[in-house]
Amino acid sequence: MSSSRTILITGASAGIGASLALEFARRGYALALAARRLDALEAAVPALRAAGAPAVVPIRLDVADTASIEPAVQQAAQALGRLDVVVANAGIGALTPVGKGRLPAMRETLQVNLLGAIATIEAALPILKTQGGGQVVGITSVAGAKGMPGFAAYSASKAGLHRYLQAARAELRGTQIVVTELAPGFIDTDINRGYGARPFVIPVERGAAIMARMIERRVGLRWVPVLPWTVIALLLKLLPAAVVAPRQRRH
Domain locations in the chain as residue ranges: 6-244
Provide CATH code, domain 6-244. 3.40.50.720
In this predicted structure, the answer to whether residue 251 has a pLDDT above a threshold of 50 is: no
* CB contact at 8 A, 109 and 141: no
Q: Is 154 known to be catalytic?
A: yes
Distance, in Å, from the CA atom of 188 to the CA atom of 224, rounded to the nearest integer, reads: 13
The C-alpha atoms of residue 174 and residue 168 are separated, in whole angstroms, by 12
Q: Strand, helix or coil at 188? A: strand
Least confident of 97-106, 124-133, 165-174, 224-233: 224-233
Mean pLDDT of the chain: 90
- Range name among 25-39, 110-124, 163-177, 198-212 with the lowest pLDDT average: 198-212
Q: With 90 as the cut, is the pLDDT of residue 48 above it?
A: yes
Peptide bond into 228 cis (omega under 30): yes
Of the candidates 29, 154, 164, 195, the residue annotated as catalytic is 154
Strands (E), 140-186: 177-184
